[in-house]
Chain A
Amino acid sequence: MFKLERRVYPSRKTSGLVIFLSFLLAFFVTGLIFYFLGVNVVQFYLIIGNVFITPVLFLQAVFRSIPIILSSLGLVVAFRMGFWNIGAEGQIYLGMVAATGIVILHVFYDAIPISLMLIAMGVASFLAGGAWCLIAASLKAKLGVNEVLTTLMLNYIAILFVDYLVYGPWRDPEGWGFALSIPFPDYATLTFGGHPSVAGITISVAVAALVYVLFKYTKLGFVLSVLGKSSEVAKYAGMSVGRATLLGSLISGGIAGLGGFYVVSGMIGRLRPRASPGYGYTAIIVAMLAQLNPWLILPAGIFFGGLLTAGDALQSLLRLPASTITVFQSVIFLCIVLAEFFMRYKVVLKR
Chain B
Amino acid sequence: MSIEWIEPVLASTTSIGVVYLLGSLGEIYAERSGILNLGLEGIMAIGAAISFIITIAWGHALAFLVAGIFGILMGLLLAFFAVSLRLNQITVGLAITMLGLGLSGFITFPTTRKIILQTLNPELPGAVLETQSVSMLPSVPIPLLKEIPIVGPMFFNHNVVVYITLILAPLMWFLLFRTSAGLKIRSVGENPGMADALGINVFRIRYLTCILSGMFSALAGAYFMLGFQPFWIEGMTGGRGFITLSLIILSTWSPLRAIFGSLLFGGIEVLQYRLQLFGLGATSPQFVLMLPYAIAVITLSLLSVESFRKRISAPAALAKPYYREE
Task: Show the binding face of B for A, using Cβ within 8 Å.
Answer: 36, 38, 81, 85-88, 90-92, 94-96, 98-99, 101-107, 109, 111-112, 115, 234, 239, 242, 245-246, 249, 283-284, 286-287, 289-290, 293-294, 296-297, 300-301, 304-305, 314, 318-319, 326
Q: Which of B91, B115, B245 contacts A284 (CB 8 A)?
A: B91
**Also in contact, A168 and B283, with CB within 8 A (given A143-B305, A157-B290, A323-B105):** yes
Q: Which of A6, A38, A143, A337 has the most CB of B within 10 A?
A: A337
Query: Are A331 and B99 touching (Cβ within 8 A)?
Result: yes
Q: Which of B96, B98, B234, B242 has the most CB of A within 10 A?
A: B98
Besides A153-B293, A323-B102, 10 other A-B contacts (C-beta < 8 A) = A149-B245, A160-B286, A161-B290, A164-B284, A167-B283, A323-B105, A326-B105, A327-B103, A329-B102, A337-B91
Query: Are A321 and B85 touching (Cβ within 8 A)?
Result: no
Q: Which of B98, B239, B290 contacts A329 (CB 8 A)?
A: B98
Task: Show the binding face of A for B, using Cβ within 8 Å.
Answer: 6, 37-38, 84, 86, 135, 139, 143-146, 148-150, 152-154, 156-157, 160-161, 163-164, 167-168, 281, 284, 288, 319-331, 333-334, 337-338, 340-341
User: Complex: how many Å from CA A330 to CA B95?
Assistant: 5
**Also in contact, A323 and B98, with CB within 8 A (given A163-B286, A284-B91, A333-B91):** no
Q: Which A residues touch B245, using CB under 8 A?
A: 149, 152
Secondary structure call for the A interface? helix
Query: Are B293 and A84 touching (Cβ within 8 A)?
Result: no
Query: Are A144 and B106 touching (Cβ within 8 A)?
Result: no
* A-B CB contact pairs (8 Å), 25 listed: A37-B112, A139-B301, A146-B314, A148-B319, A149-B245, A150-B300, A152-B242, A153-B296, A156-B242, A160-B286, A164-B286, A164-B287, A320-B106, A323-B234, A324-B102, A324-B106, A327-B102, A327-B103, A327-B106, A330-B96, A330-B102, A334-B81, A334-B95, A338-B81, A341-B87
Q: Which B residues touch A323, using CB under 8 A?
A: 101-106, 109, 234
User: Complex: how many Å from CA A323 to CA B49?
Assistant: 13
Q: Which of A6, A333, A338 contacts B94 (CB 8 A)?
A: A333
Nearest 6 A-B pairs (CB), nearest first? Answer: A323-B105, A326-B102, A330-B98, A327-B102, A330-B99, A333-B95
Q: Which of B109, B234, B293 has the most CB of A within 10 A?
A: B293
Query: Are A157 and B91 touching (Cβ within 8 A)?
Result: no
Query: Are B242 and A153 touching (Cβ within 8 A)?
Result: yes
Q: Which A residues touch B294, using CB under 8 A?
A: 153, 157
User: Complex: how many Å from CA A149 to CA B303?
Assistant: 13
Query: Are B106 and A321 touching (Cβ within 8 A)?
Result: yes
Q: Which B residues touch A153, using CB under 8 A?
A: 242, 246, 293-294, 296-297
User: Complex: how many Å from CA A43 to CA B297?
Assistant: 46
**Also in contact, A160 and B94, with CB within 8 A (given A153-B296, A319-B111, A338-B85):** no
Q: Which B residues touch A340, using CB under 8 A?
A: 87-88
Q: Which of A37, A145, A148, A168 contacts B304 (CB 8 A)?
A: A145
Query: Are A143 and B304 touching (Cβ within 8 A)?
Result: yes
User: Complex: how many Å from CA A166 to CA B29?
Assistant: 40
Which residue in chain A gives the minimum CB-CB distance to B238? Answer: A156
User: Complex: how many Å from CA A153 to CA B246?
Assistant: 8
Q: Which B residues touch A327, using CB under 8 A?
A: 99, 102-103, 106
Query: Are B87 and A281 touching (Cβ within 8 A)?
Result: no
Q: Which of A149, A157, A329 contacts B300 (CB 8 A)?
A: A149
Which residue in chain A gives the minimum CB-CB distance to B319? Answer: A148
Q: Which A residues touch B105, using CB under 8 A?
A: 321-323, 326
User: Complex: how many Å from CA A325 to CA B101?
Assistant: 11
Query: Are B81 and A150 touching (Cβ within 8 A)?
Result: no
Query: Are A161 and B286 touching (Cβ within 8 A)?
Result: yes
User: Complex: how many Å from CA A152 to CA B104?
Assistant: 22
Q: Which A residues touch B38, using CB under 8 A?
A: 148, 152
Query: Are A281 and B94 touching (Cβ within 8 A)?
Result: yes
Which residue in chain A gives the minimum CB-CB distance to B99? Answer: A330
Q: Which A residues touch B249, using CB under 8 A?
A: 149
User: Complex: how many Å from CA A135 to CA B249?
Assistant: 18
Query: Are B92 and A284 touching (Cβ within 8 A)?
Result: no
Min CB distance B214 to A, Å, is 15
User: Complex: how many Å from CA A6 to CA B86?
Assistant: 13
Q: Which of A148, A319, A324, A333 contacts B98 (CB 8 A)?
A: A333
Min CB distance B113 to A, Å, is 10
User: Complex: how many Å from CA A153 to CA B247?
Assistant: 12
Query: Are A154 and B99 touching (Cβ within 8 A)?
Result: no
Min CB distance A198 to B, Å, is 30
Q: Which B residues touch A143, using CB under 8 A?
A: 301, 304-305
Q: Which A residues touch B103, using CB under 8 A?
A: 323, 327
Query: Are A157 and B301 touching (Cβ within 8 A)?
Result: no
Which residue in chain A gives the minimum CB-CB distance to B103? Answer: A327
Which residue in chain A gives the minimum CB-CB distance to B113? Answer: A321
Which residue in chain B gives the minimum CB-CB distance to A345? Answer: B85
Which residue in chain A gives the minimum CB-CB distance to B92? Answer: A337
Query: Are A167 and B286 touching (Cβ within 8 A)?
Result: yes
Q: Which B residues touch A322, using CB under 8 A?
A: 105
**Also in contact, A150 and B284, with CB within 8 A (given A157-B290, A320-B109, A330-B99):** no
Query: Are B87 and A337 touching (Cβ within 8 A)?
Result: yes
Q: Which B residues touch A167, using CB under 8 A?
A: 283, 286
Min CB distance A331 to B, Å, is 7
User: Complex: how many Å from CA A44 to CA B297?
Assistant: 42
User: Complex: how many Å from CA A146 to CA B92?
Assistant: 17
